[in-house]
Amino acid sequence: MPKNKPKLPKIKFSHHYEKLREAEIAEEGGNACLISVCKVNLEDLPKGFLWWDTLYYVLGKGGKREERHFKLPEKGEYLLLVFSEKFSYILFGTLRSPYGKWGDKQMHYQSMIGKEFEVIINAEE
């Protein structure tokens, strides 16, 4: 009788961001290990990093790829989560709000460092 695999925690993305493609996360998702969590202020991050972190493409007229970016506030406190893709070990980050319906996300994510996550992509592309 096969053993049931434990359910992995999930990290969800609203688009198939370019950073996920670079990390070899497939269109349908994949797995990655959380390796770091730090609190950041958006206004202190380099503009180039924010550009890359929020970049995704959609198919426009004639099948041409059009650049889009997820809209973040100009400033504010966020968490920077750094993941390592399970097989390629390519790093990618994601910015997340530090608070949610279950309180302080920083403590929650810090307790998950070293754990494997299921990457879910809910792309509406």
- 66-91 mean pLDDT: 94
Two structure tokens written together for 43: 């206004």
**Predicted local confidence at residue 9, as pLDDT:** 94
**Predicted local confidence at residue 125, as pLDDT:** 44
Task: Please determine, for residue 3, whether its predicted confidence score (pLDDT) is greater than 90.
Answer: no
- pLDDT, tens only, 31-75: 999 999 999 999 999 999 999 999 999 888 888 989 999 999 999
Phi-psi region of 2 (alpha: psi -120 to 50; beta: other; left: phi over 0): beta
Amino acid present at 42 = L
Q: How far is CA 95 from the centre of its chain?
A: 7
- Cα–Cα distance list, 11 to 3, 46, 57, 88, 93 (Å): 24, 24, 20, 18, 11
